Structure 1
Amino acid sequence: MSLMDALFYWLQMKWIVSARPDDEAARDTLGFFAQILSEDHRLVSYEISSVDAGRVHVAYAAIEGDVHTAWFDLEAVEQLQRDMFGAPAEEDSGTEDEGD
């Protein structure tokens, strides 16, 4: 799995866990993608850094110390949540906590 795919899937699950903190399956899936980011892509940190203009920005750092930022389309990030649970609430930003 590519780094960008892993970040995107982690982000989608992060979004769902923020909206549904008691969803154990979502938390387990979030942990699975966090493990891929850590083990396969050697990331030491990854977090939602901002949400603006229809984009979600994710800052991530490799074990070598390089820090990067990627952005993902907000509508695409929310799509899984919409498909599974209906439209997300306006106040659900998915940014309450960081990392996995």
Structure 2
Amino acid sequence: MKSLQDALYNWLTIKIVSDARKEDQSALETEEMFHSILMDEHGLTDLQIEKDDEMYYLHYNYQNASRSTRFPRELIEVMLKQMQAEPEKYINYPVDE
């Protein structure tokens, strides 16, 4: 994934889903994949999330400098809200062991 901004957006969106759906193995694996992209491909460290009533703020180190970016909560939480509104479309299948 070439764009750092896209990678941050994708990671945060699925992170919110995986945090809300702890039993969702697919969400967890997807979050881990995007986290790995941020760390391995983009070289981010010390990634932290903060939020208020309107925004999510991401704080991280990139190229030896502290950086931050923000995303509207409405944009980040749209996937989770859709899953909550129509749970029958987002069934969490058990993991085969």
TM-score interval, smaller chain: 0.7 to 0.9
Are 1:36 and 2:37 matched, yes or no? yes
Over 4 Å off, 4+ runs: none
**Following superposition of structure 1 onto structure 2, how do residues 1-100 of structure 1 map, counting pairs within 5 Å?**
1=1, 2-48=3-49, 50-62=50-62, 64-86=63-85
Instruction: With the length of structure 2 as denominator, give the TM-score of the two structures.
Output: 0.79
Distance across 1 between alignment mates of 2:48 and 2:85: 25
| Count of aligned pairs between the two proteins | 85
What's the offset of the Cα at 1:44? 1.7
Gaps of 5+ in 1: 88-100
* Higher RCO, 1 vs 2 (CA within 8 Å, ≥6 residues apart): 1
**Structure 1 residues 22-80: Cα deviation after superposition (integer angstroms, max 9, x where no partner):** 111001000110111011101122120x2124100010112x42111100010000011
Structure having the larger proportion of residues in helix = 2
Considering only aligned residues, what root-mean-square deviation do their CA atoms show, in Å?
1.5
Gaps of 5+ in 2: 87-97
Highest CA radius of gyration, 1 or 2? Answer: 2
